[in-house]
Amino acid sequence: MNRIDKKFQDLRNKREPAFIPFISAGDPDLPTTKSLILELEKRGADVIELGFPFSDPIADGPIIQASYYRALSKGQKVSQIFDLISDIRKSASGGQIPIVSMASYSIVFKSGCERFIETALNAGLDGATIPDLPIEESDEVFKIAEKKDFKIVCFVAPTTTEHRRDIIARKSQGFIYYISVVGITGVRDTLPTDMIENIRKLRQLTNTPISIGFGVSTPEQAKTVGQIADGVIVGSAIIKMIEKYQDKSLKELVQAVGDFAENLIIGAKEARTNKFVHATL
pLDDT of residue 58: 64
The boundaries of the domain holding residue 72 are: 3-279
Name, in order, each residue with C-beta under 8 angstroms of 176's C-beta and a sequence gap of 6 or more.
Answer: 153, 154, 155, 156, 168, 169, 202, 206, 208, 209, 210, 211
pLDDT of residue 8: 97
pLDDT of residue 33: 98
How high is the mean pLDDT of the chain? 90
Query: Pairing state of beta strands 231-234 and 99-102?
Result: unpaired
pLDDT of residue 93: 86
Which residues in 41-63 are b (16+ Cβ under 10 Å) and which e? bebebbbbbbbbbbeebeebbeb
**Tens digits of per-residue pLDDT, 28-86?**
999 999 999 999 999 999 999 999 998 765 656 788 889 999 999 999 999 999 999 99
pLDDT of residue 196: 85
Q: What is the CATH number of the domain that holds 7?
A: 3.20.20.70
Q: How many domains does the chain have?
A: 1
Between CA 200 and CA 229 the distance in angstroms is 10
pLDDT of residue 100: 98
Q: Is the pTM of this model over 0.85?
A: yes
pLDDT of residue 242: 97
Q: Which residues carry out catalysis?
A: 49, 60
Q: Is the pLDDT of residue 219 over 80?
A: yes
**Tens digits of per-residue pLDDT, 145-199?**
999 999 999 999 999 999 999 999 999 999 999 997 654 444 444 555 678 888 9
Q: Is the pLDDT of residue 124 over 60?
A: yes
Task: Tell how many helices (H) and how many strands (E) occur in the chain.
Answer: 12, 8
